[in-house]
Amino acid sequence: MGAQVSTQQRSDERKVNSVHSMHHWNTLFQRSRTSNKLMVIDFTAVWCGPCKFIEPAVHDFAVEFSDVDFVKIDIDELPDAANDFEVQVMPTFILVKKGKERERIVGVKTDELHRMIEKHRF
């Protein structure tokens, strides 16, 4: 009942996928294992002020890096996904390629996140 994935967009910008079920998350993650495409996972929480602060930058990066998949996971909604990656602080951004973690950025580090996406996208 209801959609398992919602998308957040500002005008015609590229999508940031919000994942709301472990089934859907597992499907996306399994797909990423066979893809050369970089996936940026944004572990966030509704109550997290820093997460809200960096959210516009994440949307901008999704536009700039249209060749990268951006996924948003609320740690309160999908605690098992957060536990699988040992996420303890929000926001945490995990860059995954071929199913393996390539980089982890914890906190509001917009410039560092941008550099790491640039570094791992190809």
**Poorest-confidence range of 6-15, 49-58, 60-69, 77-86?**
6-15
Structural domain range at position 108: 13-120
Rounded Cα–Cα distance for residues 96 and 41 (Å)? 8
Does residue 49 belong to any structural domain of this protein? yes
Does residue 33 belong to any structural domain of this protein? yes
* Catalytic member of 38, 41, 48, 73: 48
- Domain count of the fold of the chain: 1
* Catalytic member of 51, 62, 90, 116: 51
Would the pLDDT of 10 be above 80? no
Does residue 29 belong to any structural domain of this protein? yes
Confidence of residue 98 (pLDDT cuts 50, 70, 90): very high
Smallest CA-to-CA distance from 98 within 56, 39, 48 is with 39
Does residue 109 belong to any structural domain of this protein? yes
Query: What is the structure's pLDDT at 11?
Result: 40
Would the pLDDT of 121 be above 60? yes
CATH number of the domain residue 60 falls in: 3.40.30.10
Confidence of residue 15 (pLDDT cuts 50, 70, 90): confident
| Preceding amide of 91 cis, omega within 30 | yes
Rounded Cα–Cα distance for residues 117 and 112 (Å)? 9
Does residue 4 belong to any structural domain of this protein? no
Answer yes or no: 48 catalytic.
yes
| pTM, to two decimals | 0.87
Query: What is the structure's pLDDT at 45?
Result: 97
> Measured at the alpha carbon of residue 103, what is the angle toward residues 13 and 29, in degrees to the nearest 5?
65
Answer yes or no: 3 catalytic.
no
Residues 22-62: tens digit of each pLDDT: 999 999 999 999 999 999 999 999 999 999 999 999 999 99
Query: What is the structure's pLDDT at 109?
Result: 97
